[in-house]
Homo-oligomer: A and B are copies of this chain.
Amino acid sequence: MYVIMVYDVGEERVAKVLKTGRKYLTWIQNSVFEGQITESKLEKLKTELKKIIEPEKDSIIFFKLREAYLTKKEIIGREKHDTSNII
């Protein structure tokens, strides 16, 4: 399945959410990840995120699609890339 994950969490938890998200998905913009993921890996990601966030303050939304082709992506302005894997 293809997933878009958006997160709105307290400043002190952003780094941990970012680090966790990067293990499963691709960071594409501030507060936004996307990527192909299996059901079981998505469950693992959600379990890890639930240990990090404060549910009464933080919000993470997953938009789940059967396939990536079901959405057309259009960018205005800069395309921000995840430069974390550049050594």
Contacts and interface: CB of A to CB of B under 8 A. Distances in A.
Given A63-B63, A64-B71, A70-B70, A30 B31 contact: yes
A78 B60 CA distance: 8
- Number of this chain's copies in the complex: 2
Contacts of A64: 71-74
Interface string A35-52: 000000000001001100
Which size bracket describes the interface of A in this complex? 35 or more
A53 to B, nearest CB: 5
B32 A53 contact: no
Interface of A: 4, 6, 8-9, 28-32, 46, 49-50, 53-66, 70-80
